[in-house]
């Protein structure tokens, strides 16, 4: 079945709950139909035949569908979604979502629309919906899609849900509702907040984009932005309630959702912020480990702090599901607790491809072709212009179009055409240089397309013209590129290939290699790794976020895991301590998040020089220090070391040694001086 046949069958459905994006139908309505036969074949092909579902959600615009498991569909008035299976037939991939462990799963309403009038419980379903309509519960559709929002809506309307039916609640029942001091959640910052730092690192705070801070608190970010000439404004319900709401290129919803204890209000804030964004909305929330969460005082779907403030601590995948289900848009992970929801499709593609583009150091043209005396003289006289053209060729992996090189018209006047100049420059040395640049650019796109299968990447038609030219020059067409990329995506499950790639990378990239197990490299080298490792890490980064936010990545060869590590001032500390460790489990599509708030307990990174290039600042000093620590017995040997901060300090004390910068001193001499 193709997409046209799929849409035709959906259009012929006689019943269903219809939304702007999809149609929901109960399994019973499509018995003995081509649609059900098609679904059964897909489930069998995906080896998911045992997955039980009650509701099918068919996309009205894409070749996609979801199978939704509501085991209490008949018995509960408003059943909760337990699990779902999403299938994208265009990209040929599927995803399983488990809602059984979340305290705020999606809720199903208006069940009578999804079944035929012959369904045994049709009249009961109709009566339940009529009750909700009379109580005014369906007026704010944004707030009722999830359990906690639905329960809050019922409570705020003055009702209780008893055995699936609505009853008037007593006036006394909610008079002791706990009062939350939301204004106390605002903090004084010195410097940019984490999401704003991310925007700065990505070049979005270069003055070309306007920014609106929705829920700006005390306005510390705004002060920083204004001081640097950024067009920025903000609003806050407690500290700037009278400020005007403005549309902006970028809207920041930073650490706002997690302090709103009322779920409908939380969803409303998300939608309000998204409506103000012209390019994209960046959302950030606090993360926490399950062990720490269990130690806190529970309140609604979050906790009460010692300052009587509310905090909803999310898990990474939980936050992504909440954003995507609330806005019906793809949420792209940009880091732990940070997601971007794009409104502008071209900007989304530019952002995604920019993450995967290699940063090259182009060599200058120090020789001119000598095909003829005249041509040689012309090339020499226009050396800087020709050099700029050649560097652009190497950057693109192809001849630039007229709008991609500012002096293209002058080149045409001097050499006839850019292609003629390209051919003039193509001696054996430069041909090899060009082929290497083209191959590297081709790999960049293969990684881009491979990772595109994890999200809703845009069609070829909606791509910027530059990308269309790249694809035509590097792959002929987008279908061939996607097919080749898909092959690389499947290869990341081949541990032998991964190990060979790691062994290869270890030959030319500074790394700590644990043979047969794992390899540690600085994140700045990721785009220089073999393509299979880039796809492997990129797949993990779809859950973690932007890998450039970490300092070191650990590639686990045989366990399907990738660990991203952040250190305190990695670039300058001789013995940096780990601040944050995020282990992504690809098979489970989830993360283990470890933070080290207590600075005294942060484990040290030892043998740091093995992760450095010989031309790096302080490489020689770092290597001398690392070798000295091994000689003293403080460090056991080369390679990766697992040692607590306390043990490391104890070993230094036993040797009467202290480290200052990149030197080891005797404590006696330090004391005497």
Sign of CA dihedral 517, 521, 525, 526: positive
- Please name the residue that has the structure tokens 């062994």: 503
DSSP string, 65-83: EEEEE-TTTTT-SSPBP-E
pLDDT of the residue at 365:
41
CA–CA separation, 671 and 378 (whole Å) = 70
CA–CA separation, 411 and 553 (whole Å) = 44
As to burial, measured by CB atoms within 10 angstroms (0-12 exposed, 13-18 middle, 19+ buried), residue 274 is buried
3-state SS assignment for residue 415: helix
CA–CA separation, 126 and 134 (whole Å) = 12
Q: What residues in the chain have per-residue pLDDT under 70?
A: 134-135, 142, 157-160, 162-191, 287-299, 305-309, 355-374, 454-462, 669-673
Q: Which residues contact 476 (CB under 8 A, 6 or more apart)?
A: none
Q: Among 498, 528, 529, which Cα is nearest to 515's?
A: 498
Helix-, strand-, coil-residue percentages of the chain, each rounded to 5: 40, 20, 40
Percent of the chain with pLDDT over 70: 86
**What are the phi and psi torsion angles at 657 (to 5°)?**
-120, 155
- Which DSSP symbol is given to 113? G
> What is the pTM (predicted TM-score) of this model?
0.57
Task: Judge contact between 602 and 596, C-beta under 8 A.
Answer: yes
Q: Are strands 248-254 and 277-284 parallel, antiparallel or unpaired?
A: parallel
CA–CA separation, 196 and 228 (whole Å) = 13
Residues in the chain: 673
Q: Among 316, 269, 284, 274, which Cα is nearest to 192's?
A: 284
As to burial, measured by CB atoms within 10 angstroms (0-12 exposed, 13-18 middle, 19+ buried), residue 16 is buried
CA–CA separation, 24 and 73 (whole Å) = 13
Helices (H), 545-618: none
pLDDT of the residue at 339:
93
Q: Which residues contact 141 (CB under 8 A, 6 or more apart)?
A: none
As to burial, measured by CB atoms within 10 angstroms (0-12 exposed, 13-18 middle, 19+ buried), residue 574 is buried
pLDDT of the residue at 305:
60
pLDDT of the residue at 315:
79
pLDDT of the residue at 671:
56
3-state SS assignment for residue 49: coil
Task: Judge contact between 307 and 280, C-beta under 8 A.
Answer: no
Angle at 143 between CA 161 and CA 235, to 5 degrees: 140
Task: Judge contact between 39 and 65, C-beta under 8 A.
Answer: yes
3-state SS assignment for residue 562: strand
Task: Judge contact between 274 and 303, C-beta under 8 A.
Answer: no
Q: What is the pLDDT of residues 146-176, one digit of tens each?
A: 888 888 888 776 666 765 665 554 322 333 3
- Please name the residue that has the structure tokens 């630039």: 400
pLDDT of the residue at 373:
62
CA–CA separation, 51 and 49 (whole Å) = 5
Sign of CA dihedral 367, 370, 373, 376: negative
CA–CA separation, 635 and 609 (whole Å) = 14
252: left (phi over 0), alpha (psi -120 to 50) or beta: beta
Q: Which residues contact 350 (CB under 8 A, 6 or more apart)?
A: 464
Q: What is the pLDDT of residues 620-636, one digit of tens each?
A: 999 999 999 999 999 99
3-state SS assignment for residue 1: coil
Q: Among 34, 32, 74, which Cα is nearest to 55's?
A: 74
CA–CA separation, 178 and 261 (whole Å) = 10
How crowded is residue 486: how many other Cβ atoms within 10 Å of its Cβ? 18
pLDDT of the residue at 190:
42
CA–CA separation, 425 and 368 (whole Å) = 8
- Please name the residue that has the structure tokens 């488990």: 98
* Residue 502: C-alpha distances to residues 498, 611, 644 (Å): 6, 14, 27
Q: Among 341, 380, 238, 338, which Cα is nearest to 548's?
A: 338
CA–CA separation, 449 and 458 (whole Å) = 11
């Amino acid at each position: 079945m193709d997409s046209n046949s799929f849409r035709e069958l959906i259009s012929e459905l006689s019943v269903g709950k219809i939304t702007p994006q999809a149609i929901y139908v109960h399994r019973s309505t499509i018995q003995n139909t081509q649609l059900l036969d098609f679904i059964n074949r897909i489930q069998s092909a995906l080896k998911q035949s045992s997955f039980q579902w009650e509701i099918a959600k068919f996309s009205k615009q894409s070749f996609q569908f979801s199978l939704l498991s509501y085991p209490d569909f008949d018995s509960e008035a408003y059943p909760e979604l337990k699990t779902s299976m999403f299938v994208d037939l265009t990209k040929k991939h599927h995803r399983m979502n488990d809602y059984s462990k979340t305290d705020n799963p999606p809720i199903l309403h208006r069940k009578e629309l999804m079944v035929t009038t012959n369904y045994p419980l049709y009249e009961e379903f109709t009566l339940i919906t009529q009750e909700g309509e009379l109580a005014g519960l369906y007026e704010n559709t944004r707030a009722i899609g999830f359990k906690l929002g639905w329960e809050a809506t019922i409570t705020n309307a003055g009702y209780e849900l008893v055995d699936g039916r609505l009853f008037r609640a007593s006036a006394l029942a909610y008079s002791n509702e706990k009062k939350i001091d939301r204004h106390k959640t605002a903090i004084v910052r010195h410097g940019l907040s984490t999401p704003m730092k991310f925007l700065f690192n990505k070049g979005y705070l270069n003055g070309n984009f306007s920014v609106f801070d929705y829920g700006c608190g005390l306005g510390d970010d705004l002060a920083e932005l204004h001081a640097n000439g950024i067009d920025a404004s903000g609003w806050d319900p407690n500290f700037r309630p009278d400020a005007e709401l403005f549309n902006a290129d970028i809207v920041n919803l930073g650490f706002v959702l997690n302090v709103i204890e009322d779920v409908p209000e939380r969803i409303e804030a998300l939608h309000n912020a998204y409506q103000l964004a012209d390019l994209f909305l960046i959302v950030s929330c606090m993360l926490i480990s399950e062990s720490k969460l269990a130690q806190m005082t529970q309140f609604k779907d979050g906790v009460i702090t010692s300052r009587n403030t509310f905090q909803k601590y999310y898990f990474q995948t939980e936050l992504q599901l909440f954003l995507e289900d609330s806005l019906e848009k793809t949420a792209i992970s940009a880091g732990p607790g940070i997601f971007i929801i794009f409104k502008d499709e071209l900007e989304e593609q530019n952002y995604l491809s920019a993450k995967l583009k290699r940063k090259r150091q182009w060599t200058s043209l120090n020789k001119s072709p000598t095909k003829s005396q005249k041509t040689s003289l012309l090339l020499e006289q226009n050396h800087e212009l020709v050099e700029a053209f050649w560097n652009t060729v190497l950057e693109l992996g192809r001849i630039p179009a007229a709008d991609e090189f500012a002096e293209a018209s002058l080149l045409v006047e001097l050499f006839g055409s850019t292609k003629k100049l390209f051919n003039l420059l193509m001696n054996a040395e430069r041909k090899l240089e060009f082929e290497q640049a083209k191959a590297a650019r081709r790999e960049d796109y293969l990684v881009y397309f491979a990772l595109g299968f994890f999200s809703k990447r845009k069609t070829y038609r909606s791509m910027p013209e530059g990308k269309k030219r790249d694809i035509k020059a590097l792959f002929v067409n987008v279908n061939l590129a996607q097919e080749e990329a898909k092959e690389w995506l499947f290869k990341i499950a081949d541990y032998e290939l991964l190990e060979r790639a790691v062994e290869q990378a270890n030959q030319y990239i500074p790394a700590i290699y644990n043979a047969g197990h794992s390899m540690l490299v600085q994140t700045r080298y990721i785009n220089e790794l073999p393509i299979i490792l880039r796809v492997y890490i990129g797949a993990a980064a779809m859950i973690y976020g932007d890998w450039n936010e970490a300092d070191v990545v650990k590639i686990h060869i045989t366990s399907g895991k990738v660990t991203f590590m952040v250190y305190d001032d990695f670039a300058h500390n001789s013995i940096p301590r780990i601040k944050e460790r995020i282990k992504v489990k690809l098979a489970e599509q989830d993360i283990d998040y470890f933070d080290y708030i207590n600075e005294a307990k942060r484990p040290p990174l030892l043998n740091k020089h093995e992760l450095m290039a010989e031309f790096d600042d302080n490489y020689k000093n770092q290597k001398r220090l690392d070798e000295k620590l091994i000689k003293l017995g403080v460090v056991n040997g080369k390679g990766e070391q697992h040692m607590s901060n306390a043990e490391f300090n104890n070993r230094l004390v036993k040797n009467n040694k202290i480290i200052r910068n990149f030197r080891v001193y005797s404590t006696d001499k330090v004391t005497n001086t």
